[in-house]
């Protein structure tokens, strides 16, 4: 991970670690900064930011999420009972794989000395699990998705692809328009300008990665900063252009980091 990426990760989670430390009542046990970290604390680190209070809660929420997902596929694409069972089995596999890692993490942490370094290390060990859960256990690289693609008939696969494309377009439109609404509070636009900018941005963004929700708005900001100036000049007045030029310069330099993080789907030079 790049230094920018590391900085961003540390900026994102350092306050949370400190907040959790105090909220959970963890205090140094002695002058050498020994920390008392129990199982519930580790569970809070992994699961709390994902809407669950404990491992048990998280399992229950994931089981509901799978049932919802499979039911949606059944309703839309007419899955057979065998297909349903196969998918549920695959999802259970993804969950088992994840919770096995959680168990191993707990075992490792429980054997560690909880001084300052140990505390930091424990936090760093739980972080990837927290992030994986946040991204979703049944997304693109999951057993669930792989089995889904193998299980469907050719006709169902085609229907799923079309539905996903439609959903991607709707998703892009929603995020682009939310961004324009935000930009509109800084650079007030006329209806025609908003509409033209929305169209330009939707054309420029071929795909937004699905498992990086926290960067969605930043992705749109990035693409907005790369829109051809000559096209923008056809839409916006001098005062608005001044602000948009500033926006473009703000995003210079972000590309390298975004590419390293896998946020940019297309290779460099093929986006324009």
Partner 1 sequence: MSSVSGRTKLHRQFSLIALVLFVPASSVAQDEVGPVVEVGEAARIVDDAIIVQDVVQGAIIDGAIVEIEGVNDEKALAAMRDAAQASLLTDMKFLLRLELAFAKRACPLDKDQLELVRQKLEERLPGCKDMVMDVAVFRNGFGFGMGGGMATVAATTSEGHSLKENPYSRIQKEMEKTLQELVTPEQLARYQEEVQAKNDFHRQSSVGMVVELIDQRLSLSAEQRQTIRQRLIERWENPASISFEMYFNNPEYIPAVPESAVQPFLNKDQRNIWSRLNRHDFPIQVQSDQFGVFGDE
The site for partner 1 (CB under 8 A) is made up of 2-4, 7-8, 15-16, 19, 49-51, 61, 64-65, 67-69, 71-72, 75-76, 134, 163, 166-167, 170-171, 173-175, 177-178, 180-182, 184-191, 194, 213-218, 221, 237, 239, 242-244, 246-247, 250-257
Give burial (CB, 10 Å; 0-12/13-18/19+) of 184: middle
Q: How far is the CB of 257 from partner 1 (least distance, A)?
A: 6
What is the distance between the alpha carbons of residues 208 and 212, in angstroms, rounded to a whole number? 9
DSSP state of 139: S
Q: How far is the CB of 127 from partner 1 (least distance, A)?
A: 15
Q: How far is the CB of 152 from partner 1 (least distance, A)?
A: 16
What is the distance between the alpha carbons of residues 58 and 41, in angstroms, rounded to a whole number? 15
Handedness of CA 85, 91, 94, 98 (dihedral sign): negative
Q: How far is the CB of 77 from partner 1 (least distance, A)?
A: 11
What is the distance between the alpha carbons of residues 222 and 266, in angstroms, rounded to a whole number? 13
Identify which of residues 124 and 164 has a Cβ nearer to partner 1 in the complex.
Answer: 164
Identify which of residues 166 and 233 has a Cβ nearer to partner 1 in the complex.
Answer: 166
| 95-to-66, 133, 149 alpha-carbon distances in Å | 10, 10, 19
| 105-to-16, 112, 128, 171, 214 alpha-carbon distances in Å | 19, 11, 11, 35, 25
Identify which of residues 119 and 236 has a Cβ nearer to partner 1 in the complex.
Answer: 236
Identify which of residues 85 and 256 has a Cβ nearer to partner 1 in the complex.
Answer: 256
Q: How far is the CB of 15 from partner 1 (least distance, A)?
A: 5
Q: How far is the CB of 212 from partner 1 (least distance, A)?
A: 9
Place of tokens 């937004």: 208
Identify which of residues 112 and 241 has a Cβ nearer to partner 1 in the complex.
Answer: 241
Identify which of residues 122 and 258 has a Cβ nearer to partner 1 in the complex.
Answer: 258
What is the distance between the alpha carbons of residues 16 and 139, in angstroms, rounded to a whole number? 26
Give burial (CB, 10 Å; 0-12/13-18/19+) of 63: middle
């Amino acid at each position: 991970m790049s230094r920018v990426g590391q900085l961003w990760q540390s900026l994102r989670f350092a306050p949370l670690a400190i907040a959790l430390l105090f909220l959970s009542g963890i205090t140094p046990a002695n002058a050498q900064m020994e920390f008392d970290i129990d199982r519930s604390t580790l569970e809070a680190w992994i699961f709390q930011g994902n809407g669950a209070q404990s491992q048990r809660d998280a399992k229950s929420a994931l089981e509901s999420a799978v049932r919802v997902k499979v039911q949606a596929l059944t309703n839309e694409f007419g899955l057979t009972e065998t297909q349903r069972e196969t998918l549920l089995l695959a999802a259970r596999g993804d969950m088992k794989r994840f919770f096995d890692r959680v168990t191993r993490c707990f075992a490792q942490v429980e054997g560690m000395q909880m001084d300052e370094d140990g505390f930091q290390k424990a936090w760093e060990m739980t972080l990837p699990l927290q992030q994986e859960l946040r991204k979703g256990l049944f997304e693109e690289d999951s057993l669930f998705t792989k089995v889904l693609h193998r299980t469907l008939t050719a006709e169902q696969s085609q229907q799923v692809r079309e539905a996903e494309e439609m959903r991607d377009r709707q998703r892009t439109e929603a995020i682009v328009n939310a961004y324009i609404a935000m930009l509109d509070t800084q650079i007030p636009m006329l209806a025609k300008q908003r509409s033209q900018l929305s169209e330009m941005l939707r054309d420029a963004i071929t795909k937004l990665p699905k498992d990086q929700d926290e960067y969605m708005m930043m992705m749109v900001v990035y693409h907005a900063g790369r829109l051809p100036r000559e096209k923008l000049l056809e839409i916006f007045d001098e005062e608005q252009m001044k602000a948009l030029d500033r926006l473009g310069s703000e995003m210079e330099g972000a590309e390298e980091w975004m590419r390293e993080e896998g946020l940019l789907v297309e290779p460099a030079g093929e986006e324009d």
